[in-house]
Amino acid sequence: MAQKKMVNDITSMDVDFAQWYTDIVKKAQLADYSGVKGCIVYQPYGYAIWENIQRDMDRRFKEVGVENVYMPMVIPESLLQKEKDHIDGFAPECAAVTQGGGEKLAETLFIRPTSEVLFCEHYQKIIHSYRDLPKLYNQWCSVMRWEKTTRPFLRGMEFLWQEGHTMHETAQEAEDFTLKMLKIYEDVYRDTLAIPPVVGRKTEKEKFAGAEASYTLEPMMHNGVALQGGTTHYFGDGFAKAFGIQFTGRDNALQNPYQTSWGMSTRLIGAVIMVHGDDNGLVLPPRVAPVQVVIVPIAQHKPGVLEKAGGLYEELKGQFRVKLDSSDNSPGWKFAQYEMQGVPLRLEIGPKDIENGQCVLVRRDTGEKQVTALEGLADTIAGLLDTIHGDMLARAQKNMEEKTFVAHSHEEFLDIAANKPGFIKAMWCGDPACEDKLKEETGGVKSRCIPFEEEHLADVCACCGKPAKHMVYWGRQY
């Protein structure tokens, strides 16, 4: 996949991966820094990627009966305190409003770090009978968490996301829905973003505050670092009891409903950058690219070239997201620009192409060029975009497999952690103390998840040598 470097002011990822990431965010005009520390300006190109991801997820949610709502952005302190485990988990990250209209508030309001308590307050008012269930609600919004270290899209004080909160008649129904949403998330990663995540259950230590079980998707970045890419949670009836949510069951007895929560954020954009990008900039999966095909006229000053390019634009725009660049910038400038912005396909059309009834299609992911007949062009492009998606998914899968290692012993675990960036598969006894010890010894390697299909790699824990209970994926994270 080696290509000639066309954009010289992007740091090579092999030289400085963090600076490479920042360069792409800025040069591709995805986001800009704002005057508020830790908060970014989502520029049109970056926001368009989010909109395409959002539309795809929203369609999938609605197909399983989820409805969109919107909750307040502030939470009264008394309401937040109703679920102690929850507030204890978020307390360090909460931002408080203590004054409004020039006067001190009677009660502190917290800007939502997440909205479980707001949904529960509402559900307490509207759920009365088993006939009112299930309630399958989701909201698209921003949340605020007072992060100490921030990076555009990956970790910010304010970020965009969706958060689903549902209530169910039985525990089994709620647990099943938690896993159903996890599968939808996995489909978004694979079928839309061309990213293969590791999927499984979080350990007790790493689960969400107030949850009985948390499930996660962990995609691997190009440099072997993991990203918590999305989570779903089964809450049992803990929140329902804390907020007095009851309904009359089929047996006419009062009971508490069972709750789920699930969310994915603009962190997905960071994953797309770090899984697929290269030293020329973005490489966007066709299904979320704001521009799927850019038409670049060659020798556009010559008779008929711009007219033909415009005709192709009109022909293709109903089926694809297409841009025609008829500006007076040179073709070389245009090539570099759309290379950096990750446009999946470049279509070149010049006088000789017109004469021969053809055009040239150039793939962003590989740089491969192919001369293509203008007849049947839309079908050719559709097939090529699907091929690009499949090839990007395969490359990401290969990178993950090549950077996944097995540790059979404590010594081997420490050696891999020190010398081989990536996932480590190792057995674990189930003791959180071993998680803490491995994290401390390795300078940050944490449990990522217990996969649904565990392999038996050894009989004993890779930390303490006691009998093993689970195989765990371990790794560093953003």
Write out the two tokens for 339.
């290379």
Tell me the residue range of the domain where 45 lies.
Answer: 17-70+129-276
Same domain for 378 and 312: yes
Same domain for 229 and 137: yes
Q: 473 near 198, Cβ under 8 Å?
A: yes
Give domain status of residue 105, yes or no. Answer: no
Same domain for 455 and 418: yes
* C-alpha dihedral, 29 to 34 to 39 to 41, nearest 10°: -40
| pTM beyond cutoff 0.75 | yes
Q: 260 near 215, Cβ under 8 Å?
A: no
- Looking at residue 455, which CATH number applies to its domain? 3.30.110.30
Same domain for 372 and 235: no
Percentage of the chain with pLDDT > 90?
92
Same domain for 425 and 357: no
Tell me which of 355, 384, 413 is where a domain ends.
384
Helical H segments across 166-300, by residue range: 171-187, 238-242, 267-276
Write out the two tokens for 195.
């990213």
Give domain status of residue 65, yes or no. Answer: yes
Give domain status of residue 249, yes or no. Answer: yes
Give domain status of residue 361, yes or no. Answer: yes
Same domain for 23 and 143: yes
pLDDT in tens, 270-329: 999 999 999 999 999 999 999 999 999 999 999 999 999 999 999 999 999 999 999 999
Same domain for 300 and 233: no
Q: Residue 82: what pLDDT? A: 78
Percentage of the chain with pLDDT > 70?
96
Look up residue 83 and give its DSSP letter. S
Tell me which of 352, 384, 416 is where a domain ends.
384
Q: How far apart are CA 232 and CA 117, in angstroms?
A: 17
- Give the pLDDT band of residue 148 (cuts 50, 70, 90): confident
- Looking at residue 314, which CATH number applies to its domain? 3.40.50.800
For the cut 90, the answer to whether the pLDDT of residue 8 exceeds it is no
Exposed (0-12), middle (13-18) or buried (19+): which is 306, by Cβ within 10 Å? middle
For the cut 60, the answer to whether the pLDDT of residue 4 exceeds it is no
Same domain for 235 and 356: no
Give the CA radius of gyration of the chain. 25
Q: Residue 149: what pLDDT? A: 84
From the CB of residue 89, how many other CB atoms can be counted at a distance below 10 Å?
Answer: 17
Same domain for 314 and 246: no
Q: 381 near 404, Cβ under 8 Å?
A: no
Hey, what amino acid is at 15? V
Give domain status of residue 80, yes or no. Answer: no
* Conformation bin of residue 103: beta by default, left when phi > 0, alpha when psi is -120 to 50: beta
- Give the pLDDT band of residue 81 (cuts 50, 70, 90): confident
Same domain for 469 and 351: no
pLDDT in tens, 124-136: 999 999 999 999 9
Give domain status of residue 376, yes or no. Answer: yes
From the CB of residue 244, how many other CB atoms can be counted at a distance below 10 Å?
Answer: 11
pLDDT in tens, 167-208: 999 999 999 999 999 999 999 999 999 999 999 999 999 998
Q: Residue 212: what pLDDT? A: 96
Give domain status of residue 247, yes or no. Answer: yes
Q: How many domains does the chain have?
A: 3
- Looking at residue 170, which CATH number applies to its domain? 3.30.930.10
Q: Residue 3: what pLDDT? A: 47
Same domain for 192 and 45: yes
Same domain for 309 and 434: no
Tell me which of 245, 276, 307 is where a domain ends.
276
Give domain status of residue 193, yes or no. Answer: yes
